Amino acid sequence: MAFCPSPSSTSSSSSSSSSSSSPFDSSNSAKFWIIHGIMAGAAVAAAVGARAYWTRVKKFRNRVVGIIPARFASTRFPGKPLVEILGKPMIQRTWERAKLAATLDQVVVATDDEKIAECCRKFGAEVVMTSESCRNGTERCSEALEKLGKKYDIVVNIQGDEPLIEPEIIDGIVKALQTTPDAVFSTAVTSLKPEDALDPNRVKCVVDNRGYAIYFSRGLIPFNKSGKVNQQFPYLLHLGIQSYDTKFLKIYPDLQPTPLQLEEDLEQLKVLENGYKMKVIKVDHEAHGVDTPEDVQKIESLMRERNLS
């Protein structure tokens, strides 16, 4: 015989079931809110952490000065900063390009020559006079920084013989140094043209897989056992522009010249030989530095082709 529960027993059973499931529901609800609270807290913590991180990054090495070292007594090209390129001194063209960089708070010319200083003042540049004893552009930047008497975190050494330097490259090496705390130096490279492979005035560079410099040379590097230029290999050309952490720049002049630096006559090798890290960025740029009088005509021809005045 089928059993039919009475209304009272059904009500009692339903009430019993309802009352018996209530602790489980409360427990599950509590767990849900605890987990929800933990996740919400973690999200808030992550957001706060991310904001703090980007605030630190933004503040890290954020005060930047661009210094254009210029000397009259160049061995290869005396008076080079004052040579005219389509009617303007080369130093002026470099200064005008540097002023377009978004990351630079100030741009100055550092020189030991009164003729260069006078020329720069005429077109509106700020000038810092430095001593004739500076052995290279980095030492001249170091002395200029000291004489400026202002607090900067990064100094950008802008080569005065790069009248077509792109402001984006300046900004690129600054940002590279700002985001790489273990590096004290940053610079830029571009693709080397095959015809420049054996030119000692075109400095080559090799980097590791993380974008840190391994070596610079006036010779072709790497150099294969065939002794010939490999047309398929992506050789890198150093653009010369470089930036330094100011704490490092202040001690740079006190570092003794190193064998590789002296042999290659490349100041950046002293940085590597002393165990410091150098961050390298790769850019798409046609290098048009002026090393010899013949280079002036090349620059002017290029500027005419591009309608640059």
Tens digit of each residue's pLDDT (9 = 90 or more) over 135-149: 888 999 999 999 998
The DSSP code for 126 is: E
Instruction: Write down the pLDDT at residue 52.
Output: 45
Q: Which two tokens stand for residue 35?
A: 């987990």
What pTM does this model have?
A: 0.78
Instruction: Write down the pLDDT at residue 31.
Output: 60
Q: Which residue has the higher pLDDT, 3 or 260?
A: 260
Digit-coded pLDDT (tens) for 228-245 = 999 999 999 999 899 999
The DSSP code for 11 is: H
**Beta-carbon contacts of residue 115 (< 8 Å; ≥ 6 apart):** 72, 82
Q: Which two tokens stand for residue 197?
A: 């492979």
- How would residue 87 be classed by pLDDT, with cut points 50, 70 and 90? very high
Q: Which two tokens stand for residue 76?
A: 């290869």
- How would residue 294 be classed by pLDDT, with cut points 50, 70 and 90? confident
3 state DSSP class of 136? coil
- How would residue 41 be classed by pLDDT, with cut points 50, 70 and 90? low
Model confidence at 209: pLDDT above 90: yes
Spatial contact of 184 and 242, defined as CB atoms under 8 Å apart:
no
Beta bridge partners of 68: 109
Instruction: Write down the pLDDT at residue 57.
Output: 46
3 state DSSP class of 226? coil
Of 51, 57, 85, the residue nearest 165 (C-alpha):
85
